[in-house]
Amino acid sequence: MARLPYATPAEFAELMRQSGPTERTPASNAFRMLAHEPSVGAQLLRLVLALLTETDLDTRLRELVILRVAQRCDGT
């Protein structure tokens, strides 16, 4: 359960409009939290999407890095 309420669908739509992600971008809970402040959330979402889609890092290696960071941060 989230400690803060998720953004409304209208707030989430505004975040998506400002950040310009592709249609395939999932409506994850993290993105719904960013929608509380679309001006900041849109910039962060652009950065995350650029890191995931516009880098030269091999996709398999990128996924291993993500898993390692989650492990090091005690992510579940």
Tens-digit pLDDT profile for residues 3-52: 778 888 888 777 777 777 666 666 677 777 777 777 788 888 888 878 87
Whether 3 is in a domain gets the answer no
64-73 confidence digits (pLDDT tens): 988 898 898 8
Chain centre to alpha carbon of residue 50 = 11
Q: Residue written as tokens 């390692």?
A: 68
Model confidence pTM above 0.75: no
Q: What is the pLDDT of residue 64?
A: 92
Whether 63 is in a domain gets the answer yes
Total domains in the fold of the chain: 1
Q: Residue 60 is encoded by which pair of tokens?
A: 């398999």
Higher-confidence residue: 60 or 15?
60
Whether 1 is in a domain gets the answer no
| Host domain of residue 49 | 9-72
> Exposure of 48 by Cβ count < 10 A (0-12 exposed, 13-18 middle, 19+ buried)?
middle
Whether 68 is in a domain gets the answer yes
